[in-house]
Amino acid sequence: MTVERLFRRGITVSLVGAILVVSSMVALAAPGQPAGVLTVSGRSTSPDAAVTVNGEPAKSGRTIFSSGVITTPEGLTATLDLGKAGRLQLEPGTTFTLNLNDDKVGGQLTSGNVSVLTAGQNVSIRNAAGDTLTLGTGDSAAANSPAPSKKAKPGPGGLDWWYWAAIIGGVTAVIVAVAATGDDASPTR
């Protein structure tokens, strides 16, 4: 009787352990939190053309996850609604890999164009050349966009520093010229 009871307990423990292991594997296989929702618009010349997400045809309303690769064929535009993080629009002929970390939006633009419709923070886009472009609301980038140039930081009043240097230099030159041509006569008392 003891051997039979021991055998039953062993099988029960083994089954419970197997269920725990399998259920944790299912939970770990989940792709993570949804990043946003896809909206497809436009009209393609080919009836077989479709926006794809990770190589699978996708329609409006499809949930997008971070690290998803979205490809738009000619004639179709995809809009990604990322909730508080913002909205991106992918033009026809675009391949874009979305990266979303909390409210920080970014991605890899392999081909085509992406526009930032709204954004809670700046959007960091890496283009096909490997350059990182920082976009704000209303900005667009192309996969072949050149690297951003370093602009001089504007000084007071929104003018670049060299404008202020020219203004101060000009005023100084006028003061020196007036002082040099001044009358050397002392006032009468």
- Say whether both 20 and 46 belong to one domain: no
- Say whether both 51 and 12 belong to one domain: no
Q: How confident is the model at residue 148 (pLDDT cuts 50, 70, 90)?
A: low
- Say whether both 64 and 113 belong to one domain: yes
* Beta pairing partners, 180: none
pLDDT tens per residue, range 85-106:
889 999 999 999 998 887 788 8
pLDDT of residue 179: 74
Poorest-confidence range of 82-86, 103-107, 182-186?
Answer: 182-186
- Say whether both 17 and 81 belong to one domain: no
- Say whether both 98 and 10 belong to one domain: no
Contact 108, 90 (CB under 8 A): no
71-76-81-82 Cα dihedral, nearest 10 degrees: 20
* Structure tokens, 152: 């001089």
Helix, coil or strand: residue 28:
helix
Give a yes or no: residue 148 inside a domain.
Answer: no
> Could you tell me the CA-to-CA distances from 8 to 1, 19, 22, 77 in Å, in that order?
11, 17, 21, 61
- Say whether both 13 and 59 belong to one domain: no
**CA dist., res. 29 & res. 2, Å (int):** 41
Give a yes or no: residue 134 inside a domain.
Answer: yes
The whole domain housing 136 covers: 34-142
pTM: 0.61
Q: How confident is the model at residue 2 (pLDDT cuts 50, 70, 90)?
A: confident
Number of domains in the chain: 2
- Say whether both 130 and 114 belong to one domain: yes
- Say whether both 43 and 89 belong to one domain: yes
pLDDT of residue 86: 87
Give a yes or no: residue 162 inside a domain.
Answer: no
- Say whether both 75 and 106 belong to one domain: yes
Contact 80, 69 (CB under 8 A): no
Taking 70 as the threshold, does the pLDDT of residue 38 lie above it?
yes
- Say whether both 40 and 132 belong to one domain: yes
- Say whether both 79 and 128 belong to one domain: yes
Average pLDDT of the chain, as a whole number: 81
Helix, coil or strand: residue 145:
coil
